[in-house]
Amino acid sequence: MNRKKLLILRILGLIFIGGISILGIFAYSYIHPSSQIINRAHNIQNYQAIDSAILLLRDGDIVLRTGADATSYIFTQFNQKDKTYSHCGIVVIEQGYPFIYHSIGGEDNPDQILKRDSASFWFSPVHNLGMAIVRFALDSMNRASIVEEAKKIYTQKPKFDMQFDLLTDDRMYCAEYVYKVLNKAMKDSNYISASKKFGVLYVATENLFLNPHAHFVCRLRYK
C-alpha cells in the first residue's frame, strides 16, 4: 500500500475515533461566534487568572488549552473520555520565566516547525476558551531530564505531523511530542500510554492527564 493510501486510511481512522461530523464542526462555529473573542480578549479577569496560573508553573509541567476554532474542536474529539482540551505543551523555565515548547500546525505556525512561546502568549484568551496545568510526580532529576529531552528535540526542528504517525520521529503532533519527551526522559515506554481504536495507535491530550502519575494544578475557563 502506497504512502498516500496509508495517509487517507489514517485520517479516516482518526475521524471515526473522534466521531467527528461536519454538522458538529458547523455547530461549534455557531456556538462560539467571533463576538465572544472580543469579550474574552477585553476581560481583565482572564489576564489576572492567567498571571496567577503562570506563577504556579514548574519545569516539566504539562499545559493544556482549549482552542476556540473548528480545528481545535476536531482535536478535542480524538479524546475518548474527556473532550475538554485540544492542544498541549511542555513547560521549561528559562531565566526565571516559563516558556512552552509545543508542536502546532496551521495558520498559527506556517512553517510547522516545533515552537517555543512565552507562557502568557500560549495561554492567551483571545483564541482560547480555557487552560489547565498538569503536574507529574517527579523529582528534580526527572524534571531536568524532561527539560533536556524537550530542548533536544526542539533543536532538531521537527515539523508538525499531519499523518499522526507515532512510529516516526522526524515529524510530531502536539500530544505525540509530549508523550515521547516524557517517556524518553522517564526511561519508561509506558509512562504515558497511547490509545488504540480501529487499529490506529495514537496519543490524545487526555492521555497526558488521565493516568496515575498526573494531577491538575489548576483549570481555568475564560469568561
Per-domain residue ranges for the chain? 3-221
pLDDT digits (tens, 9 = 90+) for 41-69: 999 999 999 999 999 999 999 999 999 98
In this predicted structure, the answer to whether residue 3 has a pLDDT above a threshold of 60 is: no
pLDDT band at 17 (very low <50, low <70, confident <90, very high): very low
* Separation between Cα atoms, residue 70 and residue 205, nearest integer Å: 17
In this predicted structure, the answer to whether residue 33 has a pLDDT above a threshold of 80 is: no
Under DSSP, the state recorded for 148 is H
**pLDDT average, residue stretch 81-88:** 97
Percentage of the chain exceeding pLDDT 70: 84
Map residue 165 onto helix, strand or coil. Answer: coil
Task: Spell out the residues 6+ positions from residue 33 whose beta carbon is closer than 8 angstroms to its own.
Answer: none
CA angle at residue 163 from 157 to 169, to 5 degrees?
40
Q: Which residues pair with 207 in a beta bridge?
A: none
Percentage of the chain exceeding pLDDT 90: 74
Q: What is the pLDDT of residue 4?
A: 47
pLDDT band at 16 (very low <50, low <70, confident <90, very high): very low
In this predicted structure, the answer to whether residue 11 has a pLDDT above a threshold of 80 is: no
In this predicted structure, the answer to whether residue 70 has a pLDDT above a threshold of 60 is: yes
Consecutive H or E run containing 163: none
Phi, psi of 20 (to 5 degrees): -80, 140
pLDDT digits (tens, 9 = 90+) for 136-171: 999 999 999 999 999 999 999 999 999 899 999 999
Map residue 182 onto helix, strand or coil. Answer: helix
**pLDDT average, residue stretch 75-93:** 96
CATH domain 3-221 topology: endopeptidase fold (from Nostoc punctiforme) (3.90.1720)
